[in-house]
Structure 1
Amino acid sequence: MRRTFALGIATVLAVSGLAGCGGDNEDGPEAKQTKAGPVTIEWWGWAPGYDKAAAAWNAAHPDITVKFTQTESGAKGGYQKMLSAVKAGNAPCLAQVGAETLPSFLVEGAVEDITPYVKDSAAKFQPSALKSVTFGGKQVAVPVDSGPMGLFYRKDIFARHKISVPKTWEEFTAAAEKLHAASPGTYLTSFNPDDMYGFSGLAQQAGAKWFSTEGDAWKVAVDDEPTLKVAAYWQNLIDKKLVDVQAAWSDAWFKHFSDGKIASLVGPVWMTKVLEDSVKGTSGKWAVAPMPNWVAGQTATGNVGGSPNAVLKGCKNPKEAVEFSTWLSTDTSAFDGLVTNGGLFPTTVNGAALPSIGTGRPFYGDQPVFQVFAEAAKTTVPDFGWGPATPELNEAFNAAVGDAVKKQGTLTEAFATIQTKAVESLKGKGLTVNQ
């Protein structure tokens, strides 16, 4: 199909082939039929705890077997593997696809309309979670988790240097200066030039709106004022050599956490488990607080991540795939396991009441850290917006920001380049763009 359309969601639906699909079958008569008898659902993803969840499901549901396959994370190759499998006709039935990437999968025609199978479960999810997986009235994935941000910090290092937990970004800069002056080999935090998703959460907190729609066209504003404000802030820390510039997820990055060279991290809730698994030798030395804010006394929170389970194109058993996905996200025992084993934060209406949310975690000195994130989730800034070319945007970010930290320009200049690339990417997909 030729990739043109009147945008809004209509464009995305037209390009993906979902326009007109499911509109008359929401009560089920024309829903895709699934075969009788036992079925096997192939499921691809990378979240910690998913393997245990599949095993628990299989033990109690002999008629629907879920076969989980661990993949690379989406940005590290998982998404490309999924899209290639869809094109080859051998994709799994179910896949972990970040909410930021769902529009891209939609434009590629890689997801199924699951609207006929989710009506009975809609009331269990937060409206914002459903909004993130619904396009033009068509739901294409089941929400799982969200990623409200917080400040992870080393209690021992803060105490040793008499540093108070910063409540504002101004205080954060002052803390960075104080710590590095007292201990030149120690940095308050790091800057990751290859982590667009982490930066997007910081921009969201400041009020950025990268993608939105105006009538029949996309509006792209990756270089909007809030984003440039955040870029200038981190440029100042980089210029003063107050942050450790490291590639995210690199061995060096985790080593610096282990060695105490990096004393804090502003990151999403799911980093609770990542730190527990990656820097075990520092157990008991960490704590979590709300992320710093731009204005004293005001609270706004960014969000990073949240990976729904999408039913990929060609799935022969979408009803069963949705049944499992809904159980995974709404069953108390199942999601308690995901909180404990994966550090995931629920998107259900009653998720904050899960037993695991109030449970202390030894790595954090038995602090019930998920309670911090439960409060943070209430102040997440809405309407940030992702577009249908996230992989291309990520590539542009890595290139431009990577050059900036190598003194080949500034972060502000980098975002001008990223803006241009983002617009070109959308236009290259046949989408109308208004700047």
Structure 2
Amino acid sequence: MSACGGSPGNASPEDLDARLGEGTGTVEFWAWAAGLDVIVDRFNEIQDDITVELNSSATGEEAYKKLDTAVSSGTGPDLAQVEYSQIPSLAISGALQDVASLDAEFAPRYLETNWRQAGFEGGRHYGIPNDVGPMVMYADLELLGSAGLEAPATWEEFHDAGLELRDATGARMGTFLQTAPFVAALAQQAGARWFGVDGDSWIVSIDDDATRSVLDFWIRMVADGVVALNPGFNTGFWQELDAGDCATYTVGAWGYRGMKGNLEATSGRWSAEMLPRWSTGTEANGMYGGSAWAITKSSRNIRAALVFADWLASSPEAMTLQYEHSGYYPAATDPAVVPGYSEPDEFFGGQEVLPVFEGAMDAVDPGWSWGPQMSELSAMIQDRLPAAVAAGDSSEYLSGLQADFVASLRNRGLAVEEGR
């Protein structure tokens, strides 16, 4: 895989053995998820073998640059929070440690699709998957009902219902989130494969039929006044939802946390629904977000880091604490142990959301994989999207994205072929 750039986390057996540790001692942990200080304190309280020291890191590109630099200088942590989309880049740069020979014992506690998220081409694996974001649609049933509508089952029904809702109430059906993960998740649901590997080359297929079809559909919905283009997660966005000016919120399952923290007037009106399908009878889904607890090349205590990471991601106590503090939906096999998912939820009108979340996870397309330099690609997707919406067509947008991104990867010394 050398032509794909750098070392994907390999180490000599002697080097790896020297850094395994005895499963005890101190673990330095860099992460940004809300409430981790409480959860780490709890872990340190209930056992004496391992002491975890948490460094609450920045999020996004800043966090990954800091992590890469620290590992390169030998001052990085044992364990770090890494989004699945960033694993290929950090593996290629040499920041992550392949622990496939060490962490397999933990795999049965996680859904297979989720376990693969913490890995990379060639059977490499870099730690423990913690949280996932199967796409769901949160629907304001009262607002829809005021126009004689129900939650739509297909995207065409979504569009048509949006026209009726617009004419009857002036409200919009949903929001076209101006984020790369949103675009990627919808493309994944439609069967897109943006990245692949053939021998020593990356295959990049951003400009494919599935992605073009998805974007053209959403661009048409903006033109029809059914949805609005918005970055989301801002004050105005939440105010619009709480005022009954927008009937749905399409996002990863974790989106409920922001809703509960920002929506008061519409509490009790919402329902968690499966994502509308692209065709009748075909159940498919995409993933918006998710992260792993990844072992870094700096770790001198790999066994202890894995033990803690597994407890954090799969123990009922830690999963429940994550539900309460961050809203992360677990990658582990049994989210039912978290009462918040398996009991009636007043915010959702007494609905038990777990069956929807589990159905959404079951429908995720397992064939999707991420590629290198996703931070760069994400910025390109988001910055150029308004112009594509204004143009009313995605063809130039996608062809330009693919051409410019492929050129950038080649300038970095990566072997790249264009797919379609």
Instruction: State whether TM-score is above 0.5.
Output: yes
Deviations 1:52-95 (A, max 9, x none): 321221211344232334444325x4333433443454433322
Structure 1's 285 and 88: CA in aligned 2 closer, same or farther, altered over 3 A?
farther
Structure 1's 210 and 335: CA in aligned 2 closer, same or farther, altered over 3 A?
same
C-alpha RMSD of matched pairs (Å): 2.4
In the TM superposition, residue 340 of structure 1 has moved relative to its aligned partner by: 4.0
| Aligned counterparts, 1:266-415, within 5 A | 266-352=250-336, 354-405=338-389, 407=390, 410-415=393-398
Q: Which amino acid aligns with 1:398?
A: Q
In the TM superposition, residue 246 of structure 1 has moved relative to its aligned partner by: 1.4
Matched, 1:162 2:141: no
What's 2:29 paired with?
42
- Aligned equivalents of 2:91 and 2:129: distance in 1? 16
Structure 1's 216 and 17: CA in aligned 2 closer, same or farther, altered over 3 A?
closer
What's 2:247 paired with?
263
Structure 1's 277 and 79: CA in aligned 2 closer, same or farther, altered over 3 A?
farther
- Aligned equivalents of 1:200 and 1:387: distance in 2? 12
What's 1:121 paired with?
106
Which residue, out of 66, 73, 90, partners 1:105? 90
Which residue, out of 207, 211, 226, partners 2:210? 226
Q: Which amino acid aligns with 2:398?
A: F
Residue 83 of structure 2 aligns to a residue whose secondary structure is coil
In the TM superposition, residue 430 of structure 1 has moved relative to its aligned partner by: 1.6
Structure 1's 283 and 51: CA in aligned 2 closer, same or farther, altered over 3 A?
farther
Q: Which amino acid aligns with 1:415?
A: L
Structure 1's 68 and 29: CA in aligned 2 closer, same or farther, altered over 3 A?
closer
Q: When you count strand as a share of all residues, which structure comes out higher?
A: 2
Give unmatched runs, 5+ long, in structure 1. none
Matched, 1:60 2:29: no
Deviations 1:242-264 (A, max 9, x none): 21221222222222122222221
What's 2:235 paired with?
251
In the TM superposition, residue 104 of structure 1 has moved relative to its aligned partner by: 0.9
Deviations 1:281-339 (A, max 9, x none): 43212111111001112211111112011122312322221111011112122113323
What's 1:183 paired with?
169
Q: Which amino acid aligns with 1:30?
A: D
Q: Which amino acid aligns with 1:421?
A: D
Matched, 1:242 2:226: yes
Q: Contact conserved, 1:39 with 1:64, CA < 8 A, in 2? A: yes
Q: Contact conserved, 2:216 with 2:392, CA < 8 A, in 1? A: no
Residue 84 of structure 2 aligns to a residue whose secondary structure is coil
What's 2:79 paired with?
94
- Aligned equivalents of 2:30 and 2:384: distance in 1? 34
Residue 211 of structure 2 aligns to a residue whose secondary structure is helix
Structure 1's 36 and 231: CA in aligned 2 closer, same or farther, altered over 3 A?
closer
> What is the identity percentage for the equivalent residue pairs of Structure 1 and Structure 2?
28
Matched, 1:142 2:105: no
- Aligned equivalents of 1:367 and 1:303: distance in 2? 23
Number of equivalenced pairs:
417
In the TM superposition, residue 134 of structure 1 has moved relative to its aligned partner by: 2.5
- Aligned equivalents of 1:49 and 1:68: distance in 2? 11
Q: Contact conserved, 2:135 with 2:185, CA < 8 A, in 1? A: yes
TM-score (norm 2): 0.91
Q: Which amino acid aligns with 2:403?
A: T
In the TM superposition, residue 226 of structure 1 has moved relative to its aligned partner by: 0.5
- Aligned equivalents of 2:73 and 2:243: distance in 1? 46
Which residue, out of 398, 406, 416, partners 1:433? 416
In the TM superposition, residue 354 of structure 1 has moved relative to its aligned partner by: 4.9
Matched, 1:78 2:63: yes
Q: Contact conserved, 2:221 with 2:227, CA < 8 A, in 1? A: yes
Structure 1's 191 and 373: CA in aligned 2 closer, same or farther, altered over 3 A?
same
Q: Contact conserved, 1:210 with 1:386, CA < 8 A, in 2? A: yes
Q: Which amino acid aligns with 1:299?
A: E
- Aligned equivalents of 2:129 and 2:93: distance in 1? 20
333-342 vs 305-314, which deviates more? 333-342
- Aligned equivalents of 1:41 and 1:267: distance in 2? 32
- Aligned equivalents of 2:258 and 2:133: distance in 1? 13
- Aligned equivalents of 2:56 and 2:394: distance in 1? 35
